[in-house]
Chains A and B, each alone.
Chain A
Amino acid sequence: MAEFAIEVSDLAFSYGATRAVDGVSFAAAEGEIIGLLGPNGAGKSTTIKMLTGQLPPERGSIRILGKDMPVDREDIQSRMGVCFEEKNLYANMSGVENLRFFGRLFGIKDVDTDGLLERVGLPDRGGDRVATYSKGMRQRLMMARVLLNHPDVLFLDEPTDGLDPVSSRAIRSIIQEEAARGATVVLTTHDMMEADVLSDRVAFINEGRILAIDTPENLKLAHGRRSVRIRSRNGPQVNETIVALDDEDASERIRAAVAKSDLLTIHTEEATLEDVFVEFAGRGLQ
C-alpha cells in the first residue's frame, strides 16, 4: 500500500472555454474520509470524474493505490467503488439483478446480494424492480453497488443529496464503517453538515480550485469566532449577550451568568463550515 491512498497533483480540466477544475492538489491517507465541499458548479463532480477515470485530465497527475490514473485505469477501477449523483441503476431489473450484473463486471460470480442488501437496509426488497423503489431506496442500492467489490477507495458524489434523514443517516453510517475498515473515501457534497459530521478533512472547492483543506475543527477554529451566546430572562423579556472567549473577563461573565437563576440557554458561537467557506470564497454553498 502506498503512503497515501490517493495523491492528486495540479489537476485541471475544461469544458470548452470553461475551466471546471484548475490546479487541484490533495492527498488522502488510507482509511481517511475527505470531503470536497463547494457549491454546485464548483468543480467537485468533474474532479471525481477524473479520479474515477471517466474524464482524462488536461493537466496534472493522479495516483490511486500506488497506480497512475488513467494509465492503470483498469487495475484501479477494479479496486474502487463509485456512487454517482444520478441514481443510475437499471430500473427494469430488480435490486438483486443489478448487483449481480455489476458484480459480474468486476469478475465476481457469487455476489453476496443478501448480505449487501441487509447492510444497506433493503433486506426484503431485493427481488423488486428498481422502478418501484423510492429515491432513498435507490440510493441505498447504489451504496450496496459501491460495496460489491470490497473497494479500497470509495468515490461518493453527493451520496445523501435529497434523501430523508433516515436514509441519510444509514448511508453516513456505511461510509464511516468503510473508513473504519481502512477504505479511503472521497465524497463531494454541498451540505456543510454532512461534510462536518463525516469528513476527517474537508477541502473547500470553488471555481475549480481548492481554497483550503484541513480538519473541520481546525477550519472552524482558525477562521470562526470564539464566543458564547447567553440568553436570560428579564421579567417578560429575554436578554441576549455574546461573550467573546478571548476577552479578559470572559470567564467571570460566564460564571456570573450561570450562577443566576434567570439563565435560559448558553451556546458556543463557533463558526460553521459554511461561515468559513464564505470567508474563503466570498459566497455561500448554495
Chain B
Amino acid sequence: MKLEVIGTIVAKDLREFSRDRFYVVITIVGLLFYVLIFWVLPDTVDETIELGIVQSGMGQAFEQVADQGVSITAFASDQDLRAAIERGTGGISVGLSFPDDFPRSVAAGSPTTVTVYVTGDVPPEIRSSLSAIVTELGFLAAGRQPLVTAPAETEIVLGLDRAGDQVSLRERMRPLFAFFVLMIEMMALATLIASEVQSRTVTAVLVTPARVTDFLAAKGIAGTLLAFAQAVVLMAAIQSLGNQPLALLLALLLGAIMVTGLGLIAGSIGRDFISIVFWSMLFLIPLLIPAIASMFPGTAAAWIRAIPSFPLVDIIVQITTFDTGFGALGGQFAALAGWCAVAFLAGWWVLRRRVVAL
C-alpha cells in the first residue's frame, strides 16, 4: 500500500463529501438537532408522587409523609378527588380517600376502608407502596408506632452512587444520538462508494499506479474519519467526554470502524440513494435495538447482548453514566473489537469483489 496514494484518495473523498449538499446539511442539522434535543431534555428525574387526598381529621399525619417524596393536595370530597385524577389536574395520578371516622376507627381497632384511586398508567410498585402509606398513616392516626422495628442494614454502593439521582432521559438518549451520527456517516460513505462504482471512476483510479488495496484502505479511512470525528463532536457538545475520555474515544473509534465496514457493504451493493438507504436500514435497524433498549433500563432482553452494537452502547452507558473504568469494560471492548473486525473485513471483501469485477 502506498500512503501517498491513500492520502490523495482520502482527501478527494473528504472533498467530495463536503460538496454533497444533502449529507452536509443532514450532518450539520443532525448534529445541531441532537445537541439541542439533549440539552432540552430534563437532566433530572422527578420522582415525587402527586397524591390527592380526602383527609378529614388527618392533617398532622400527612405532614409527616409530605417530605418523603410525596406531594399532597387536599380535596374536600371524594367526588372532587376522583374528578381531579380523571382530568389529571396538577399531575395528580393517585389519590386516597379516607372516611370521616378513619382516625377514630383505627384508634378503636374497628374495621374501616380507605379508597385508593389510580390512573391506568401508575406502575404496580407505586400501587403497592400506597398500601404501605395507608398502613403507616393508620398507625400515625392511631398514635401508635409500627409493631415491628426495621432491622439495621449496611449499604455498600459499587460504582457511582446514583441514589436520589436517577438516570435522566437526557442521559439515556446518549447512545441513541451517538448511533444516529454513526448511521448518517455510514450512509454518506455508502453513497460515495456507490457513486464511484456506478460512474466507474474507480476504474480510472485503478489504471494508475494506485492499487485496489490503496483504494479500499482509503475508503475505510475516509469513512472512519467522518464517522469518528462527528461522534466525537457530538459527545463533546453534549459534555459526555468527562468520564474516562480515552476509553470513550476508543469505543467511538471502534464503533466508527464497525459502521464503516457496513458502509463498504451498502455502497458495494447499492446502486442509488434509495437502494443505499434500503441496505443501510437493513443493517442499522437491528443495530439500533441496543441503543433504544438503553433508554429503558432493565428492559433489555438477553438476546440483545448478542447484537454487534450492544458492546458499543453498553460501553457508552457505563462510562458516561456510571464512570466505569476501562479495566471493568475489558470484556465489552474485546467484544466490540471482534464485531468491528468482522464488519470491516466483510466490507473490505465485498467492496473488493465489486471493484475487481467492474
- Interface set of A (CB-CB < 8 Å, partner B): 52-54, 74, 77-78, 80, 82, 84, 86, 88-93, 97, 101-102, 104-107, 145
Contact = CB atoms under 8 A, between A and B. Distances in A.
B4 interface: yes
Interface string B321-358: 00000000000000000000000000000000000001
A106 B204 CA distance: 12
A52 B208 CA distance: 9
B325 to A, nearest CB: 44
A93 B16 contact: yes
Interface of B: 4-5, 8-9, 12, 15-16, 19-20, 199-201, 203-211, 358
Chain A to chain B: the 3 pairs with minimum beta-carbon distance, closest first:
A105-B208, A88-B200, A104-B8
A53 B209 contact: no
- Which of B16, B19, B208, B211 has most chain A Cβ within 10 Å? B208
A77 B16 contact: no
A125 B199 CA distance: 21
A188 to B, nearest CB: 15
B145 to A, nearest CB: 80
Given A97-B15, A104-B8, A77 B207 contact: yes
A107 B209 contact: yes
B16 A102 contact: no
B20 to A, nearest CB: 7
Given A90-B12, A92-B19, A93-B15, A102 B203 contact: no
A105 B199 contact: no
Given A92-B16, A104-B8, A107-B4, A86 B208 contact: no
B207 A52 contact: yes
A284 B201 CA distance: 32
A140 to B, nearest CB: 15
Contact of A84 (B8, B200, B208): B200
21 contacts: A53-B206, A74-B209, A77-B207, A80-B207, A82-B204, A88-B203, A90-B12, A90-B16, A90-B201, A92-B19, A93-B15, A93-B16, A102-B208, A104-B4, A104-B5, A105-B9, A105-B208, A106-B208, A106-B209, A107-B4, A107-B209
B210 A84 contact: no
B330 to A, nearest CB: 42
Contact of B204 (A80, A84, A92, A107): A84
A105 B203 contact: no
A88 B198 CA distance: 9
Contacts of A78: 208-209
Nearest to B12: A101
B209 A88 contact: no
B348 to A, nearest CB: 20
Nearest to B358: A54
A105 B16 contact: no
A88 B200 CA distance: 5
Nearest to A155: B207
Contacts of B210: 105
A86 B205 contact: no
B20 A92 contact: yes
B189 to A, nearest CB: 15
A68 to B, nearest CB: 16
Contacts of B4: 104, 107
Contacts of B199: 86, 88-91
A77 B5 CA distance: 14
A3 to B, nearest CB: 25
A102 B204 contact: yes
